[in-house]
Each structure stands twice: as structure tokens, then as C-alpha cells.
Structure 1
């Protein structure tokens, strides 16, 4: 369950019920139908709405939930032996309003993670995207206040193994059921307000039913006894052989499915954020608490340029990634209550408030930004399975850093059995425009493009542009004798190239930029930028949905800044800038939004930045030391911008410009070559329904 700190989202501290639009009731079909008509007719519905990022049809959207691939089955229950099947993607959704509340789940299917559609034979339903929602509290009391994040497993809850009935796969959802609000790590925790509940489908995901009458699974009705928790939610279930090995003596011998483990994210008040571990037996129906995976302490960090781990965890997955000599275990998590980073251009904000309550307007704290974002961060931690009885930890941290240095949050992942990729989906919020802006749109939030996580290895490394030791930059391994540097890699999933189908491509093999631009990029005005930048693609070629790639050749003469300018209009632009002095990549948004009038909704235009270690490498043939190139890959989609650099840094952000055409230009503080520059425009992906058209 990802939280939202924008003003006006969620329920207030005084009102412990979800916020309903105009008193509407999530259990009423009439209310749902009326809300659908109201939200779809919002005056700004299409102004900033992306075209190739996955979205709810309208209303508030947040966490991606239960992503996975389910292969097609033979009538006898055996796999077909080919790659045929469907990717499933669920998401938190409020079908009543463009603010948080009434948390329900929506659902889409895809054969390629690019084109998404509804399950077969659901279009006739009043809300065909809706899977499961809060119902009458007397009938289903456990999740009457919300259906929060979770995961999916093939098969029935009783056996958790792939089954087939009439050539249709059985599926089980595992989610957090909320029965009481508000819930936030800064507030006292109401024991029993969150439980683990199951839902099942016998028709491949077309319809869903609560399992066991919506009652919680045994052993997961409340947090462990004796712990004052700050949160306890967002179940993730998977096999974990290494964990089973160290806990073998205490695990029950119940047959073939007892290699399953479940984790729930949260924290222990005043002590540490943590992840609670459970072993599963009797399929998915019995959970036994086994301890905490980590107890790093409050605001812990493993390096000066990695960011801290905050106060409370949400939406945590564990994943093992292969490398040359074995596998590496990672925790992928969302950290709440994090501290500002030294490289960030974003002002410090007041204590973030969850989407389960409104921020306290009586606070005397003055924020430097409008609609300030919450203090949270998407993180990865590299770990070893190593039990520490003294601290009640089952993992030992080796390295950590941010998975994304922008607004991306509440990410969920799965192992794609077709490609063996670890695929991650994240939530891109709508917090920069505030409640008024979201109401004008009739929707809020979308999902990122699917991303691949992998073991990133660079050879013959002898140093980096930045003077700080490489060990401080979030590297998992740096061996100065062998020159091997390892860390978690992140890049668009390989299926993303499918976005280029039917697009228009434009190539610029090489551009040499030789301008002495102002190194203080925030001082750029539109006139200066237009003179100093090197234009490459104009508005006749670029619309509002495109992909851009370029490689920047860096050498010792490179002295300061280099990057790309996206011109939205004569006075409106966004800069993607790499600064050698700090080795920081920034998306500078200070001039990305120019209000049309004094009455237009205020927009947060703080910049997003992240440290990018650029390595110095010894050339194996010449023995000379060279600087690795800077490779940029951008995806722009109406108001969404995703930036990837060197397959090891990502920044997701929002750019609210009304322009329908853009220009691109390059800039550099010294003579610089840009090579392999490509543009694909008119990208369009997931299948449109009547609501999306």
C-alpha cells in the first residue's frame, strides 16, 4: 500500500472512514455508475493523460498489485510447452473519486506487457475493470475499509499449485484487508486493523470470490504479539530455498508446498523499519511467524550517496538475481519517513502524511514548494541469508541504494517465466498538481513502464569521476585488484521495444556540441537556452508520446555539465543534466510548467536528482584510462517522464505542459560528441476501451 502525502487525500485524523466523493458509497452500484460518468466528463480529463502508460479508466490509481505471468494449460493440467499465456496486472483503484479512498482492485491482461486489455467476457459488467472492492461491513467486515496491496499465486489456497479445470487456470490473490482507519506510521497502530485475506478465481481471472467468507488466513490476523508496530501489510509470497535451509529444523514437514514463505512490510515503533517473515503450510492457509528479516535502525544507510531507509517499510518483495558466480538476494521495498539527500534539489518538506489522513494545516512549518512530495523512497537492499539470534535478524545487509530517484513508489515485481527477467512495476503518483488539479482531471496516477532488474557488472574499473570512494555509491562489490564493479541494474524491460511498433523513427548518428553554456543550469532562461543549445528534433517531428536515446562521449576535457533540453514552448522547458563535479543526474523542472492564468492550479516543479557513478575504465588493449560514456534513454508520455542512465539509474517524474509538440536540443559546457541519437514518436500501447477512447 503506497501512501500519498498530497494535501486533501485520504481521510482526516478525526474521520476514520474512507473519504467518499459527495457521500457516495462504494457498495452502491448506482453510486459507482454516477461516479464513472462524473469522472469521465472532468474538464481536464485528456489534457495530461498518458497514452502508453497503464492507467485505471478513471479515478485514483496507486500501487501495482499481483503482477505475474500465467502460462496456458492443457485440459489435463499440463503446461502447453510454449510461451503462450497471459501477464496479469492488478492495481489499487478508487472508482469513486480522484482522491485516495475506497481502495479496490482493478485488473488487466496482456500477452506482451505492452498491449493490455480486459479479461474476456467482462465488458457487459457495469465496471468491467473492477475485481474486488469493499463490501457491506456486516457481510465482509475484514476489508470493509479497503483492499490494499498484495500478490498472486497460481492454484487453490489449499494447495498453492497450478491446477486446471476445463482448460482454465485457477488463481489466488493474497492481499491486505483493512477494517479500520486511519493507518499511518506516525499514528498509534490499531491491532487487527490489517489482516491477510485471500480471493480466488476459477475462470482465469474473469471473476473473483473471497476465500473462506473473507476471513483472514490463520496466523495472519494481526501483527506478532509483543511488538508495537508502525505498519504490517502488503503480503508477498514465493519459494525461498535458502531461507528454508536455515530454518529447516523449526519448519513443519507438511509436503511439497512448504518451501513457501510470506513477508509483510512495516516497522517497530521507535526502533526500526522491518520486514516480518512467515512460513506457510497447508498451501496458503496457515502462516507461522518466524522473525524479522532486518532491523537496520531508524534512517539507516550503507553509504554517503545511497539515501536512508526511513522509519517504516511498505510493499516489499524478495528476489534472487543470477550473476557470473551464483545468485544475489535483494529486498525491493518502499521506505517511508526518509530524510532529504545531499544531492537532491528538492527542498525539505514537512512530515509527510499518508493517504489515510489529511495533512495538519495548523502546522507552523513553511514548505518551500507547493504540493510538496512526501518523504519516501523506493529502495533496494542486497542481502545474505545469515541468521543473527541476538538481533532477531535473518538477513545481513551488504549494500543498498534507491531504485528510482524521482516519484516512483510502491513497486511490485515478479519473475517472468518466459524471459527469466525480474520485472518491476511501480506507481507514478499525481501528487505534484494537488487536490484541485486531480479533481479537474477526474483521474490520478499511472504505472511506470515495466522495468528489468539485473546484476550489473562493469569490468576494468579503476575509479570514477566523483572523488568519493566507490564503496560509498551503493556498489554491491568493488574489487580494485580485478577492477570488477557490481550493483543492481535497472532498465526498461525488453518488451518495451514493442512500443516502437507503428511509430515513426528519426536518427541522428552524431552531433558535436561546442558551446560554452552557463554551468548554473537553473539560471537558464528560455532565450539563453535557445541560443546555447544545439537543436536536433523540432516540433514537426515530436508529439506528446515518444522515446529518445543518445550516448554522450565523455573524456578528460569534459569539465562541467552536459544534457538534453525538452522545449515545450518558448518559455517552458525541462532539462536533463549530468554534472561532472557532483556526478549527479538531474531532471530540472523549474521552467517545465508556466500557468496560463493566475487562477490555474499550482504545480510542484521541484527538480529530481540522483547520484550516478560514472566509471573510469582501463582499456584492455591500450592500457589507457578512459571514461565510460553516458547513455540516456527517455520515455515521454504527455505528462510522464521516465529517464534511464547507463542501465543503473532511473528517475521518474511528471511534466505538466499543455503543448502538443516539443523540440529537443543538446547542450554541453565544452566540446562534446553525442552519438547513436534516436527518436521514436507517436508511441501508443495498451488497447483502448470505450472509457479510454
Structure 2
């Protein structure tokens, strides 16, 4: 990360804000967090490591924090796993289970967990000012870690070579470890291979492409079956970008293609602008090309998404950082600052003749049903839904035929007088879904926070499908079975708990409406 601790530090810390603490999204107990790191499933536990400042609630002193979960909803925080020191900050990376003991850090019977992380070397050290890749390992299931005594294991003598994601490749080229990392300011993903996690050989690079105006960070690469067909597999390359995302600031894009063990080749349908968005001089043309990029999330607050290693049943599950570098250090929460998105299971599906990612939030079964209705007509008279509960998250599922309505909207976390609320609306004239937080509550802590994000959404047989998760300080929207996702932070007033559904300019038909809560 390239944030400046001194420049970003608030003049005064905000008052303690327990009502903004999420019910089902991970936050550190009383410190700062950003990128998820080292996501791995091992011995019945999901491990979430993360960028952490152990000494404060703004970016700095980068170390790896640690939390575990059995269900991806409720997390237990543990002591710092890999600590920065006088020589290095511990930047982002990944964790693998070394089943074959290729590193000789463990054994076949008791494999080590190996973290591959970026050492951001401090001024005056032997690698002063550079970023390189290093190892740490754990032989007790990820609870304690030891740095490898011959770090770094891979350097390019670069100031911006970081964020290694490592996985085991099995294919025509053989069986070996692959590292996917970035030269952040060159907008390049670089690929390396290794037999033992210690010695690495260069394979190839990819980029710049599509959204390339900002730094590229936190890549991931993995195969998925298309439409569940194991005989038709494509590879997905996730590349996060800051700034230059579709909603402004930081965000995540992806490419679909093939990886042959040496290089990644994107499908033609993954490329919005072959010469890159930053090279398009005309603003209108650049904006149009931006809409054609493949975005993981069209909201303001989903960044650095990466996937779990060794997830059960070969599921591909990602978690992102629910924040934006535009205002990350100024969020009005205390004593913690920042949270993670919900875990999301990824699949590849054929959508309008193209191969696209779909995302499904991992919610489990422990939901309390609050209301469920059959089909009914909806007009300009708003329907009040069950209120959001303090300390609990709310799940709203709806299938709506807009019919003659010009606009259908769900108003979330609204105040009794209607002056505050986060508005999710679908406009039929332009087929766009918009999440508007300009009047959501506290928006004044940063000039860029008040915003409205929108995404193109095509109806399916005239039907809009919505799955909305509302937590204490966030809204996540999964539209059309997860083909379009919008994630935004919100900081509502203490009494803003009402939820409403309405249609404007005509009538709509609600085919399904179910509301439940969970904590």
C-alpha cells in the first residue's frame, strides 16, 4: 500500500461508535485493517490474515493480523501473526498448505503452512526502499509463525513489486508452485514458478489492459468450470486498481481467459479497450470503455478481493476489504477502523453469450425469518418492510417486475422523518441499478464519501432479482443472481432503522419478497 500515515492521520479520534460495529462482517477489535491476506482453510478453520496496524486505527506499522472462523460469518481475532519490525513492513501476500513438504518446513504427515508476503524494506536497510517477496512458516496450524532466515526469496530490485498470490499448478506444463504478483506502477501482473517456494523463475507478464490509470495491486488467478461443466474450464485473473475504479478510487476488475502454466491469455470478450483506458483521450469514450470492463463490484467499497486456498469441496470463495483509499483513514468509527466484505462464492456462468463471474454471499442457514409475502401490486404508496435491528444484519430478497413503473426503489436504514436513508433504485428507461448514499447519514467526514453508484442491469424475462444484505454500516447488493454486485459503506443516524419499498410513475408487480435477520 502506498498510503501516507502522517498525511492521513485524523486530527482527533472519533468518539467510540459501537452502533457501527458490523454483526457479520469482520473488524479488528480496536485497530486498523486493510487488505485480506493469506486466506486459507486448514483443519476445519477458515484463516483470515489481514493488513493490520497493531498500534493504531490508521494505516501504518504494517503487520499481518489474524482471525479464524468456522462459518465465515463469526470470527475470532488472534494475536498478530507476522509482525513488522525495524527492517521491514509486512505487506500483502498469501498462504498455502505445503502438502508435499516441498519447502521442507514441515513434513508429509504434518504439512507446514507457508506465507509468501511482500517485505517492504525500510530506508537504511540492505534492501533499502525496495519491495521483495519473503517467506514465513507455521507448524502449529497457523497460530504462530517464523520468518525464513534467508529472506527475501525473490527480488526485482523494484520499489513496487508486491502482493504475491501463490497456488499449486497441475497441468500440461507439470506440477509446481505459481506466484502471481504485480509491478504496481507499471500496471503489470508478473508470473513466476517454483518447485520449493524458495527459488523462483520468471514465466511471463500480463498488462497493462483495461483499467490501467492507477496502480495494480492484489492479483489472484484460479480456474473455474463454466456453467458447472468440468469439461469447460476457464481461468479468472483478478486485478485490483487504485485509483481508477468504475465508481471512483479503488476497486477490483477481472479478466477471463486461459493459463497454460506459463502465461495468461485473456478472452477477447474480457478486453474493453485493447490499448487501455488510460490511453483514451476522449473522456466520453473512456467512460464508455470503463463500463465495458469486467468489475467485481460496481460500488465504492470493495477492494483487494482474493480467494481462499484449500477451500472445502473446491469452492472458490473470496473476501475483499470493505473500504476505499479515497477516504479510508477518515471513517467515523472507533476504536476500530475498517472491515471486510462478506465472503462470496464465485462461479463462472454464460451471461448473454459471454463468460462472466457470478457471486453469492456466504450466509449460512442461521437466519430468522421476519416476513414473506406472495405476489402483489406495488404503486406509489410505499410498503414498509421490517425495520433493521440494532446488532443484527438484515437480508432482503425480492423479485420484481417493474411493469409500467418508471422506477422501483428500496429505501434502507431510513429515519422516521424520511430525511435520511440509503436508496437502491432501478430505472427502467436506462436499465440501471443505483445505490445512493448521499443522504445516508454521516457523509461529511470526507468530501468524496457522499456518492451514488450505478451499474447496467438487464432484466430477466422482465424481472429484477435482488438480494440485499444490510449490516450496521454497510449495504451489499447482489442483483440478477449475483451477476452484478454493489457494495457501499453507510453511517446512518441512531434512529435510522426503517426500510421501505415503492414504485414511481406506474405500478410494479412484486413476485417475491422475503426479509430475514441474522447475527
> Does the alignment reach a TM-score above 0.5?
yes
- The match for 1:326 is 232
- Check conservation: 2:9, 2:329, Cα contact below 8 A: no
Distance across 1 between alignment mates of 2:317 and 2:163: 18
TM-score w.r.t. the length of structure 2 is 0.84
Does 1:383 pair with 2:265?
no
Distance across 2 between alignment mates of 1:89 and 1:592: 30
Distance across 1 between alignment mates of 2:163 and 2:428: 40
Measured against aligned partners, the alpha-carbon deviations of 1:64-86 in whole angstroms (never above 9, x if no partner) come to 11111114xxxxxxxxxxxxx22
Structure 1's unaligned 5+ residue stretches are 13-18, 23-37, 72-84, 119-127, 182-189, 224-228, 249-257, 301-307, 345-372, 462-477, 479-484, 516-531, 616-625, 685-693
- Check conservation: 1:568, 1:659, Cα contact below 8 A: no
- The match for 2:57 is 98
**Displacement after TM superposition at 1:578 (Å):** 1.3
- Check conservation: 2:5, 2:60, Cα contact below 8 A: yes
- The match for 2:274 is none
Does 1:607 pair with 2:452?
yes
- The match for 1:233 is 162
Does 1:492 pair with 2:361?
yes
Distance across 2 between alignment mates of 1:100 and 1:656: 21
C-alpha spacing 1:411/1:285, structure 2 compared with 1 (3 Å): same
- The match for 2:193 is 279
Describe how 1:555-566 pairs up with structure 2 within 5 A: 557-558=403-404, 560-566=406-412
- Check conservation: 2:167, 2:309, Cα contact below 8 A: no
C-alpha spacing 1:433/1:639, structure 2 compared with 1 (3 Å): farther
Distance across 1 between alignment mates of 2:54 and 2:136: 20
- Check conservation: 2:129, 2:159, Cα contact below 8 A: no
Measured against aligned partners, the alpha-carbon deviations of 1:21-52 in whole angstroms (never above 9, x if no partner) come to 99xxxxxxxxxxxxxxx99xx63231322121
- The match for 1:210 is 147
Measured against aligned partners, the alpha-carbon deviations of 1:635-683 in whole angstroms (never above 9, x if no partner) come to 11111111110111111111111235622211223211113211112x2
**Displacement after TM superposition at 1:432 (Å):** 7.4
- The match for 2:475 is 641
Describe the SS at the equivalent of 2:313.
Answer: coil
The correspondence for 1:584, drawn from 425, 429, 432, is: 432
Describe the SS at the equivalent of 1:51.
Answer: coil
Measured against aligned partners, the alpha-carbon deviations of 1:104-143 in whole angstroms (never above 9, x if no partner) come to 111122222223225xxxxxxxxx42111112x3xxx3x2
Distance across 2 between alignment mates of 1:192 and 1:158: 33
- Check conservation: 1:45, 1:443, Cα contact below 8 A: no
**Displacement after TM superposition at 1:201 (Å):** 1.0
The correspondence for 1:426, drawn from 320, 331, 338, is: 320
Measured against aligned partners, the alpha-carbon deviations of 1:612-649 in whole angstroms (never above 9, x if no partner) come to 2334xxxxxxxxxx43x211111111111111101111
- The match for 2:207 is 295
Describe how 1:80-99 pairs up with structure 2 within 5 A: 85-99=44-58
Distance across 2 between alignment mates of 1:162 and 1:580: 58
Describe how 1:60-79 pairs up with structure 2 within 5 A: 60-71=32-43
**Displacement after TM superposition at 1:394 (Å):** 4.5
Describe how 1:141-180 pairs up with structure 2 within 5 A: 141=87, 143=88, 146-155=89-98, 159-160=102-103, 169-180=111-122
- Check conservation: 2:432, 2:457, Cα contact below 8 A: yes
Distance across 2 between alignment mates of 1:648 and 1:162: 41
C-alpha spacing 1:161/1:180, structure 2 compared with 1 (3 Å): closer
- Check conservation: 1:331, 1:381, Cα contact below 8 A: yes
**Displacement after TM superposition at 1:534 (Å):** 2.5
C-alpha spacing 1:505/1:163, structure 2 compared with 1 (3 Å): farther
C-alpha spacing 1:262/1:192, structure 2 compared with 1 (3 Å): farther
- The match for 1:474 is none
Measured against aligned partners, the alpha-carbon deviations of 1:260-319 in whole angstroms (never above 9, x if no partner) come to 1111112464xxx111111112x1000111221x2345xx3xxxxxxx343431000101
- The match for 1:547 is 395
- The match for 2:513 is 677
Describe the SS at the equivalent of 1:91.
Answer: strand
Distance across 2 between alignment mates of 1:43 and 1:168: 47
C-alpha spacing 1:98/1:382, structure 2 compared with 1 (3 Å): same
Look at both structures and tell me which one has the larger radius of gyration over its CA atoms.
1
Describe the SS at the equivalent of 1:441.
Answer: coil
Distance across 2 between alignment mates of 1:180 and 1:157: 34
**Displacement after TM superposition at 1:170 (Å):** 2.2
- The match for 1:335 is 241
- The match for 2:273 is none
Distance across 2 between alignment mates of 1:205 and 1:59: 21
Distance across 2 between alignment mates of 1:202 and 1:534: 56
**Displacement after TM superposition at 1:506 (Å):** 2.1
Distance across 1 between alignment mates of 2:330 and 2:483: 36
- The match for 1:115 is 74
Describe how 1:498-537 pairs up with structure 2 within 5 A: 498-500=365-367, 503-515=368-380, 532-537=381-386
- Check conservation: 1:432, 1:605, Cα contact below 8 A: no
TM-score w.r.t. the length of structure 1 is 0.64
C-alpha spacing 1:263/1:191, structure 2 compared with 1 (3 Å): farther
- Check conservation: 1:551, 1:675, Cα contact below 8 A: yes
- Check conservation: 2:101, 2:111, Cα contact below 8 A: no
Distance across 1 between alignment mates of 2:29 and 2:99: 30
Measured against aligned partners, the alpha-carbon deviations of 1:412-436 in whole angstroms (never above 9, x if no partner) come to 1125542322101000127676755
Distance across 2 between alignment mates of 1:377 and 1:550: 27
Distance across 2 between alignment mates of 1:162 and 1:210: 11
Measured against aligned partners, the alpha-carbon deviations of 1:515-570 in whole angstroms (never above 9, x if no partner) come to 3xxxxxxxxxxxxxxxx42323346x78752111111124xx44522121124212
C-alpha spacing 1:262/1:432, structure 2 compared with 1 (3 Å): closer
Residues matched between the structures, number: 484
C-alpha spacing 1:580/1:53, structure 2 compared with 1 (3 Å): same
Q: Whose strand proportion is higher, 1 or 2?
A: 2
**Displacement after TM superposition at 1:583 (Å):** 1.9
C-alpha spacing 1:638/1:237, structure 2 compared with 1 (3 Å): same
Distance across 2 between alignment mates of 1:158 and 1:278: 19
